[in-house]
Structure formats: structure tokens, C-alpha cells
Structure 1
Amino acid sequence: MPQEFISVISLMLVAVLCVWCFKRVNLPPILAYLMAGFLVGPAFLNLFDHPEQMHVLAEIGIVFLLFSLGLEFSLPKLVAMRHLVFGLGLGQMVLTTGAFSAIAFLFGFSLAPALIIGGMFGLSSTAIVIKQTTEMGILNTPRSQLAVSILLFQDLAVVPFLIAIPLINQPADAGIMTIVGEALAKGIVVIGFLLWAGKWLLPRVFKEIASTRTDELFVLTTIVTALLAAGLTYAMGLSLALGAFLAGMMLGESQYKHQIESDIRPFKDILMGLFFVTVGMRLETSTILPYWHIILFGTLGMLLLKVLIVRVAASIFKANKTDAWAAGFKLCQMGEFSFILASLAVTHSVLEAATASILVTIGILSMAVTPFLVHNSVRFANILTTGNQKLTATEFPDVSPPAKGHVIILGFGRVGQSAARMLGMEKIAYMAIDFDPIRVQESLLASEPIIFGDVSQKSILHNANIEYAQSVVITFDQTNKAVDAIRTIRDISETLPIIVRTRKDYHLDTLYAAGASQVVPEIQEGSLMLVSQIYHYSGVPISRILKRIQKERKQKYDHLHGVFPGETTEVSYENIDKLQFMHAITISDSAWVAGRTIHECNLDKHGVKVKKVKRAYEEINEPSGGFVVAAGDVLIISGKPRRVERAERKILDGH
């Protein structure tokens, strides 16, 4: 087996283990990839004799990372928040870059490297901050919106650095103004062309590709578009990442944005991970250990100074003091694009590898403490704030439930919200409970009566005045969780009606046994509604339709069970014992069952029923046990997949 293959497999194994371990302690995957690179690099395992050979794939990873950033970059949001973005965001970036550039200059760096270092410290982690605030359900709070506006400007601020870094070490005899002028001219030409292509050419290309309905072609076109845009800017003497960002930004305004995001996500995640692995491979203990005190004090100093700068920038634009402090604690880390700038700076000999290694280590440490800082940002902000501008620790305001006669909706997803709207049309009061912080935050902003909490907790149900409710509706399709909620409700009240929605009827008996008053299987009820419409347009009287539907419900949807499996029927380990298959068996002269009754087959033992027998020109539905099977008959049996197989063997050979 080739050594290179073993090295790659080892790298992937280390990466998987690192991501798993970091996820267990709630740290972002970026840190895991950096750690994996550190472990397989020269400092420890030294798996690659020529690690620079991986940098080509890493650069492609940067291309897809910037392309996806462009897709997510929202021009309408930028315009809507322009006062904060170009006010507070610009102020933070200028002050932070200036402050850290001055510090770097005092430490002996020349002007150009000092500015790059300042830019690296000026950026924050969009991925970590947005993910953390979204999971906490605080993305729409004023303090988080301050942070988002700064992050939006930082995303824009990356572009000038991507243009400038390749130009810094150009020959001096050409003159700095000439170099900058040429770069600006090239940038204008490239941006103009990509704007034109994004508005007129790419939509037509993707429309034609989408019309072919070929997934592979759509994915391939997306990849080629990103790489062509990156190649164009590179050919003009600019960075690969700039072209990818611009192409993504253009396609981000098209109708194909979400499909493109979905298609490139696997490539982006894998290649982006590879990029951060290569960054981690550049970390060397021989470089880091002698400077541990600089790294430690540098990390603490950066965190404190960035919090203070955000607070100062926010005060200039008269933002709420406590919101400003809280936003500062959210944004005081170094960003993932700082690593990209460090990588480009080393590639173009703007920074030495040892310097970049120290800066990246500071960035890693700052990212490691970010989840803790975001989670406690309000508490820290309140400590630093005097007066009555303090914030409450909870992100969800108290909502008073109706006094009595209301419906409690457990789960406020698609079904729960639909039920709420229909209840509202009849002026029936309701109270919703949901465990998704984002959904609760959005619903509260829309003035919906909802509280955050676990529906299986008695205290949460008491907060919704369950003692005085007229009914409870469980709308989520999670049987175990629903059973827990039903049992908790039954401990409070034995008579309160509980209506449970489930997607399929696999767990009807379980839910009824737990104490549900009515279980509504979504798929079966949908089929009944469809059939009722067919009956109606076929001239069946309404009264007869209603009787048929009621009878089917009482019989637990017996006639809706069982399907003839096909090539596309999905059978998995989880559902093989829940599916109901139908199977047609032709009875030959030599079949064991020929001349015997259905009762003699003892199919009940196998949990299988004979639904129908086809004989010559007649059909016998649900034949009795005394029915004698003859050669030439076709038996249609129904049951679980494995039991159908056993029943067929019994019918044909008697075993």
C-alpha cells in the first residue's frame, strides 16, 4: 500500500477523532481541524514528507469557502442595516486595525506586515458567532444585531486585504502608486465583468442547466463557475479567493442560491476542513513554546482590547451601553478569515512562518473561549454597566397564558402553527410550548402566545395553565417524547382530552396506551381526505362518505395498510418491522396449500392476513378461514416484510 495513501487515511482518522472530541465539549469544528493538522504535522506525527503538496487542495478549499460566503452575503440586508454596517462596522474595523497595526509597528514590524496583522486582529469569527447566537435564539436581539452589522462589514473588509496581500512584495522600481493603480484598474475590470456575468450570463446558464434536471450537471456547473471566477482574478494578478467571493455574491441574488448552497456544501466543508488542517500543520512546537508568554498575554490582551474598541465604537454611534458591551464579548475573538490572510501572507512572503504560527495560535485560543464568552456576554455586560440599562439574563419575555378554556399546543412547528392559525380564525384561545429557541424567539417577535420549555416538565405545563385548559394538542412526530408528555399530563389530569399527531400509524397502540384521547396519523388521514374527495366527485352521498371514514378510523385504518413494494420502496433497519407489505402469490398444482383451507395455513401465527383471492373472473375480498384454495388462484397476502416471506414459504411448500 502506498505511503501517501496511508498518510491520507491517517489524516482523515485523526480529523474524525478531533471533530468528535471537540463536539463533545461544544467547541467548533474549525478548532478540531486545526488540532488535527497540528497533530499530523511536523510537530508530532509528521505524516507528510512534503506538506506543501497539500496546499493546492487547501487553496481550492479557500475558493469554496469564499464562494459560499458570497452566496450568504445579503445585499438587501446590507442595505437595510447600512447605517450600522457603515457606521459601527466601519468604526470597529478602522479602530481595531489601527490599534493592532500600531502595536505591531512598535514591536518592530514594517508598515505593510503591521497592517496585515492589524487586519487579522480586526476580523471576528462569523461562523462561530452566528451559529452560537442562532442556537441560543438571540440572533434578533439588539445586541446580536450590533454584532451582525459589524460582521457584515468585516466580510466586506476581507476583500481589500485579498487584493493587497499579493501586491505588497511587487518590485519597488515600478512605483507603489503605479502598482496600486494597476491593481485598482484590474479590480474594476474584473468586478465589472463578474457583475455583468452574474446579472446576464449566469442566470441564463443555470436556467438551461436546471432545465435538464440532471443533478450531476448542476453540481459540476457550480464548481466550474467558482473555479473560473477564481482563475480570472488570479490571472489578473489578484487572489483566487476574491473571484470566488464575487461569483458567489452574484449568484446569491439568483433563484438558484439555495440549490447551489446545498450542492457545494459537501465540497466546501471537506476542502475548508483540509485548509484548516494545512494551517494547523504550520504550527510547530519549536516555534510556539519559546513564545508561550507572548501567546498567552497576546490572547488576553486581544480579547480585552477588542471588547473595549467595540464599546468605544458603539458609544460614538450612541448605541445602548449594555448592548455594546455584550456585542464586544461576542466579537473579541479572531476570525477564520484571519487564518486565510495569514496563509496568503506567508505564501507571498509578507509574514514569516514563525510569526504566522504565533498569530494563528492566538486565534485558536481566542476561538476556544468564544462559546463561553457568547453564552455569558449578558452577565459580563451587566457587571460593567451601571444604572438602569441592565439586561435580563433570559432571552424570552414572560407571556401570560389565558385564564381558562384554552388549547395548549405542544410543539410549534409546521403543524402546530397551522393549528394555531385555524384556532385563531374561530377566536379560540391557545398557548404554545416549544423547545426550539430560534422558533420561540421568532414567534415572540410576532406576538404569538408561546413559552420556551420542555413539554414533559410539569412546571412548564403549569406555566401554561394546563389545569384550566380545555384540551392539549401534541403536534411533533417524536413518539418517545410524546409518550413522556402524555404521561406527565395524565399525572396532572386524568380527563383532559389529549390529541396527538403522528406522521404514520406505527405507534397508535403505544400512544393510546400512554393515555392519548385521539391519535391522528397524518399520512392515513391525508389518504382518507383524498378518498373522500374522490367519492364526492364520483357521486357518493356525503352521509355515506362520512360513515365510511368513521368506520375506517374505528378499524384503525385497516384498509389503508399494505403496499406492493417496488424498486424505489425504502426498507431500512428502523422501519422493516413497521412497514406493511402486500404480496401476490400464484398457486400452482404442486403448491402445498392447493386443496386446503386458509385456516389450515395458520397464517395468523405469522401475523399475515389474506386480503383477497383472485379466481378466474371473480374476486373474493377477505375470504373466511374455511375458504378452500385451488390451483390457479392468486392469493394477495398482507403483513410485515419478513413475515410475508415466511408466510409465502408456508403457502408454497408447507414449512
Structure 2
Amino acid sequence: MEQNVVNILLLMTVAVLAVWSFRRVQLPPILAYLVTGIIAGPEVLSLFEDVERIHLIAELGIVFLLFTLGLEFSLPKMLAMRNLVFGVGAGQMLLTTAFFTGIALLFGLPLTQSILVGSVVALSSTAIVIKQLSEGGDLNTHRAQMSVSVLLFQDLAVVPLLIVIPLLAGSGGDSLTIAISMAVVKGILVIAILFAVGKWLLPRVFSEVARTRTDELFVLTAILVTLLAAGMTYSFGLSMALGAFLAGMMLSESQYRYQLEADIRPFRDILMGLFFITIGMALPLAPLADNGHWVLLTVAGVMVAKVVLIRIAAWIFKAPKADAWAAGIKLCQLGEFSFVLSSLATTQGLFSQELNAFIVSVGVISMLMTPYLIKNSRRFALNLTQSGPVDDDLLPDAEGKYQDHVLILGFGRVGQSVSRMLSVEEVPYVVIDVDPMRVQESRNAGEPVYYGDCCSKDVLAAVGFDKAKMAIVTFDEHARALRVLNTFQQLNPQLPVVVRTRKDYRMEELYQAGASQVVPEILEGSLMLVSQVLHLSGIPMRRILKRVREERKGRYNHLHGFYPGETTEVNYESQSKLEFLHAVILSADAWAVGKTLGEVNLPGLRVKLKGLRRDNQTLPEPGPDTRLLANDVLVISGKPRRVERAERHMLEGH
């Protein structure tokens, strides 16, 4: 027992250090979990003897993941995607299975084993792909629908495969037909039950739970519903993940959707991390060392072949080329169910231990490469769908055409809104964008939009960069905006550049990079809201406009800082840039009592004094000579760690 506790603590330590290290170099946590599993696995530290038991618990991560995925897809949306699910999804499964069955036959495997190998290789990783799409904010985009549709069909296809493998190891024949028929009947029955319960019972249950206003009860009910749905499909011989997905889909149109997703997320993320650790534990290092070149060659062959086969399936069903290539790049790895099927086939005597180890090695290595491929899938897809960078008529040909114009970088909703206002005022402008479809649509409508990288000096020269009167960065990509500003500083540091950003804590970095004006959406939205409130409160418009101008000129000084709460998200990237407000109450024994503000030296602690309250009254303009008394409340603002240090200094003197 004590050894198990030590092993668990050691596993958590390795996981924490791995995730921290990987995030420091901008790599996704999934890779850290896989590496943690390899380190903790039987061939390195060997922390756990019964990996299968841990894997069973970790599979609940997939259950919760599919539940949250179901919350994103309502029944009407699923019906609208049926052509993708049962068209491209079925086509991909059949083509990939047939192709790799043929390859296995060429290597001398029997027909039964070859079909199983083809089926195992045809599957992709629902867990990795959905998690990466969700973290990247692409899950609800049109280009991600094809990937999700193919994954959904693959999850459906796992069910008959799990039934068929034990039967293939036995007699087969009539029993195989009967078993598949029974599986279909069970599937229809359980889906009908879940649909009925989800539509009529679950909304009433959550309505009653919500009335209790008990957060713990709501969380427990959400977990219970997810596990009951998964357990029901499992008891019918179907996938647990399928039941969780259907339950989520039934609740997707309820008013509790977002609260359910928020409650499930912590459990999902922890268990998903454990799941990927168990996948890493499954990697056999000995076969990899002995046949490493064959494993790597197989990984490359499998991934390239799956990309091409998904593209062919999409072509058969007339799906968009760019989406098809992107889906193929996202789904070219093996999936978690590949390991399940391969392990089952090995247990039933259909696969040898060596073949199973080889498949697991190929699968884990392909998974290690997946986050990078998903992140860059759109760029790779655009390169594959175009003979050159883009069509010649989309490239900048505006040299000498524009003068004293506004250069708009990015033509999303913000860029288009800016262009419309400039058109109303008859201000000339020219746009650079990297989305070829958007560029083509805009040019067909007569907009001066050109395809190109806004960091390219040649592209900037072609659109009259040296003759522009100002530039506007409208896309919300911080790293790319910094590259643009760096390019502008090299070419023309005098050009005024306005930059849009969502995060106010990134303002200073953008100003230091050369931005003339940074417009933070959250603060600017707050400023507009305050303007409306002041106007409706009877404040003269002249005074409101003056106040707005002063705030913008002072870089929104009065709007910086906020009081954090339980829901405030502070991550590694933002913790050193956010500005918190904090009220420090000086007890009678506090070090600062009896000292002046000048002696406390808040500016030296790199925090600002926002206010001083005494006897429930705010003191007007406290100065350096203001002496602090017991029970005074100082409202300070600054970065989180500086606020903590300042409070400790005022209370303890160090």
C-alpha cells in the first residue's frame, strides 16, 4: 500500500514536471503525458504492475470528452452532417481498411489477420484530435466538421469490430451473422432509449437540481448522468463513449449546456491526462530499439497513405478539397481504439505478441506527431490545394496604384467593419489577407483585397506600403502582430500602426514593439458601455467625449486592473501580465501602521495606489505625507505577484 502511494506521488511529480517543461517550449500537454507514460512504463521506472486497471479508469476521460463533444452537437446539426458522417466517414473506413488489408496480405499475413490489421490502422485518435481542436478554438468551425464526422463514424465502427474479433477466434459462420444482427438491434434500442430519456427526463432532472442552488449537487448529477449513459451502452455491448456522446447531444439544446461543460471539464482533463499516460506506458521499447527503422518507415507510410485515402473518400462525396486535405492531416495517426482492438485480437490469439507490439509502437509514435500536424493542418492543406502560393490574380499587383491610403492587415469581421467605415468616408484602403477563399470572395465583390503574408517585404512593397498613411492590424494573433510590427520598424518606423488585441495585458508589449495605438477589445467595450451609461445618466456629451479621449490618451489607465474571483483564469502566459486590484486591510499590528505612504514606498514595490479608505470613507487624493492608521484599507493594483509582495511588505515589513 505504501509503495503504491509512493508510486502515485512519483507519477504525479513526473507528470507535473513534464507538462511544465513542454509548456515552457510551447508544446502541447498531450506530448508531456505520453512522455510521462513512457518514463513510468514497465520498461523504465515500472511504477505500476497492473497497467490495465489504471487504463480502465483512464478511459473515463474519453467518456467525459465525448460527453462534452456531444454538448457541441445538437440533433439537427448531426442530421445536417449525415452526409459527412455516413459518406466521407464510411468511405474513409472502407478505403483505408481495404488498402491496409492488401498491404498485410502482401506481407504474408492470413486474410483474417489482414482484415483486422486494416481495421486497426483505419482508426484515428478521437481523444487527441478533439482535445487539440477544442484547445485551439476550432471545434465549431466548418473546416473541423469533416474531421469530427469521420471520427464519429470510426467510433460507431468500433462496436461491430469488438463483437466480431472474439467470434473470428471461434467458429464464426452463422453465429457471426447472428451476433452482428443482435448488435444492430441493441444499438437501435439503446439509442432510442437514450434519445427519449435525454429529451423528456434529463431537462426536468437538471431543472430540479438547479432549483436547489447547490453547486456540488449539480456537478454530481452531471457526472452521474454521463456515467449512467456510458454504462448503459456498455451493458448492451456497445462503446461507453457512444453513450456519453448521445447523452451530451440530448442536453446540447438545454439551458444547462454551458454549466454542464464547465462542471465536467476538470474531471475530463485530469482523466484524459491519465489516459495518455497509460498510452505512453503501452509503448514497448525493446521492439522499437530492435526494429526502429521499420517502425519509423511504417509510421511514415501509414500517415501518408491515410491522408491520401481520406482525400479520395472526400473526392468521391464531393467534399471541399482544402477541408479534405486538412482532415486527412489531422486524422492520419492511429487511435486509442486501435490499441484496444489490437490487444483484444492478441488475447484471442489472432495477433502475435510481436505484431501487437509493432502496432502499438507505430500508434504511439504517430500520436506524438499529431499535435504538430493538427496545428499546421490548415497551412499544409492550402499548400496542397494550390499549385503555387495562390492563384496569380489574388497576388498583390497594386504597385503604384495606391497613395495616401490605409493599409488593413487581415480581413476578418473586424477588418471588414473597418473597411466599410472607411468606404463611407471615401478614405482609400488596401487589404492583405492569408485566406485564399476570403480573398477570392472579396475580390469578386470589388474589394481591394490581396493574398499574401503581411510580414513579407515584397508583398508590402507591392501594396504601396511606403506611401500608406497608416496601417491597421485587425487579426488577434499576438505573435504574428509582433512580427508585423518588427517588419514595419525595419521598413518605415514613422508609419502609424494601430493594433487590435483582445487581451489588455498585452498592450505594453505591443507598444514596445512599435505600435502607435493599441485597441484592447475588452477595455474599449467597457469604455463604450460606460459612455452609454453616463449619457443616459444625464452627463453632457461634451464631458463624456472628453473623458473617453483622456482614457485613450492615457492608455486606459483608469480601466486597468480588476478584482479576481473564483472563475478568474490565470495561466502561465498571463500570470506575469494581468493587473489585479486588491484591498489590503491594515490590522493594528501591521508594519505600515504609523508610517507615511512615502515611507511605505508603493512605487518602489511596482504597484499603484488606487484608493485609501478610512472609517468607510475614501480619502481624497492621499499624498506621500499621508500617515496610515490601523484599520485603513489600501486599494492597490499591479501584477499578481507584485500585489502579493506589496501586501506582505505592508503587513510584515519585508
TM over 0.5: yes
Q: Single out whichever of 152-161 and 357-366 deviates more from structure 2.
A: 152-161
SS at structure 1 position matched to 2:471: strand
Displacement of 1:194: 1.0
Paired residue for 1:398? 395
RMSD over equivalenced CA pairs, Å: 6.2
Counterpart of 2:229?
Answer: 229
- Secondary structure at the aligned position of 2:227 is classed as helix
Specify the code of the residue in structure 1 equivalent to 2:470. Answer: S
Aligned to 1:469: 468
Residues 361 and 109 from structure 1, CA distance in 2 versus in 1: closer, same or farther, beyond 3 angstroms? same
Q: CA deviation at 1:228?
A: 0.6
Give the aligned partner of residue 201 of structure 2: 201
The change in CA–CA distance for 1:443 and 1:198 in structure 2 (over 3 A counts) is farther
2:363 corresponds in structure 1 to 363
Question: 1:146, CA displacement in angstroms?
Answer: 7.3
Aligned partners of 1:233 and 1:525: how far apart in 2?
A: 50
Match of 2:278 in 1: 278
Q: Deviations over 1:333-363 (max 9, x none)?
A: 4333322333454567765555422221222
Alpha carbons 2:206, 2:218 under 8 Å: kept: yes
Q: Which residue of 2 aligns with 1:264?
A: 264
Comparing 186-195 with 267-276, greater Cα deviation is found at 267-276
Separation of aligned partners in 2, 1:549 and 1:226: 49
- Cα pair 2:251 2:257 within 8 Å, conserved: yes
Paired with 1:620 and 1:109, the residues of 2 have a C-alpha distance of 85
Distance in structure 1 (CA, Å) of the matches to 2:551 and 2:420: 28
Q: Please give the alpha-carbon distance, in whole angstroms, between the structure 2 residues aligned to 1:181 and 1:115.
A: 20
- Cα deviation, 1:519-557, whole Å, max 9, x if unaligned, reads 667677666655554554454544455456556767777
User: Which residue number corresponds to residue 406 of structure 2?
Assistant: 407
Secondary structure in 1 matching 2:395:
coil
Q: Specify the code of the residue in structure 2 equivalent to 1:119.
A: S
What are the ranges of 5 or more consecutive residues in structure 1 without an aligned counterpart? 384-388
What are the equivalent positions in structure 2 for 1:610-629 lying under 5 Å apart? 622=621
SS at match of 1:408: strand
Contact 1:584 1:635 in 2 (8 A): yes
**CA separation of 1:171/1:552 partners in 2, compared to 1, >3 Å: closer, same or farther?**
closer
Give the C-alpha shift of residue 504 in structure 1.
9.2
Question: 2:121 maps to which residue?
Answer: 121
1:471-490 mapped onto 2 (5 Å cutoff) = 471-473=470-472, 489=488
Q: Which runs of 5+ in 2 are unaligned?
A: none
Rounded Cα–Cα distance in structure 2 between residues aligned with 1:475 and 1:203:
41
Verify the 8 A CA contact 1:163 1:239 in the aligned structure 2.
no
Checking the alignment, whether the CA contact within 8 Å between 1:378 and 1:393 is kept in structure 2 is no
1:193 CA displacement = 0.5
> In structure 1, how many angstroms separate the alpha carbons of the residues matched to 2:327 and 2:613?
73
Q: Distance in 2 between matches of 1:571 and 1:66?
A: 24
| Residue identity (%) | 47
1:4 maps to 4
Query: Could you say which residue in structure 1 is the equivalent of 2:40?
Result: 40
Q: Deviations over 1:105-140 (max 9, x none)?
A: 787877765543321122234566785999899999
1:225 deviation in Å?
1.6
Q: Relative to 1, partners in 2 of residues 1:638 and 1:257: Cα closer, same or farther, differing over 3 Å?
A: closer
Counterpart amino acid of 2:402? A
SS in structure 1 opposite 2:202?
helix
1:54 aligns with 2:54: yes
* Structure 1 letter corresponding to 2:395: D
The whole-number CA distance in structure 1 between the counterparts of 2:428 and 2:311 is 44
Whether contact under 8 Å (1:563, 1:581) holds in the other structure is no
Task: Letter of the 2:468 partner, please give it.
Answer: A
Provide the TM-score with structure 2 as the length reference. 0.70
Q: Is the 8 A contact 1:123 1:334 kept in 2?
A: yes
Hey, what's the Cα distance between the residues in 2 that align with 1:291 and 1:630? Answer: 74
Distance 2:414 2:66 in 1: 37
| Contact persistence 2:155–2:242 (CA under 8 A) | no
The letter for the 1-side match of 2:197 is A
Q: 1:394 to 1:35 in 2, by over 3 A?
A: farther
- The secondary structure found in structure 2 opposite 1:404 is coil
Secondary structure of 2:337's aligned partner: helix
How many aligned positions are there? 633
Q: Distance in 1 between matches of 2:387 and 2:12?
A: 45
Compute the displacement of 1:188 (Å): 2.5
What SS class does the counterpart of residue 472 from structure 1 fall into?
Answer: strand
Residue of structure 1 in register with 2:188 after alignment: 188
1:279 and 1:343 in contact (8 A); partners too: no
159-168 or 353-362: which moved more? 159-168
- Alpha-carbon distance in 1 for matches of 2:3, 2:437: 53
Deviation at 1:230, TM superposition (A): 1.9
> In the TM superposition, what are the counterparts of 1:437-516 in structure 2 within 5 Å?
440=435, 444=439, 447=442, 449=449, 453=453, 461-473=460-472, 489=488, 492=491, 496-499=495-498
**Residues 137 and 529 of structure 1: is their aligned pair in 2 closer, same or farther, counting only changes over 3 Å?**
closer
Structure 2 CA distance, aligned partners of 1:583 and 1:464? 54
2:95 matched residue in structure 1: 95
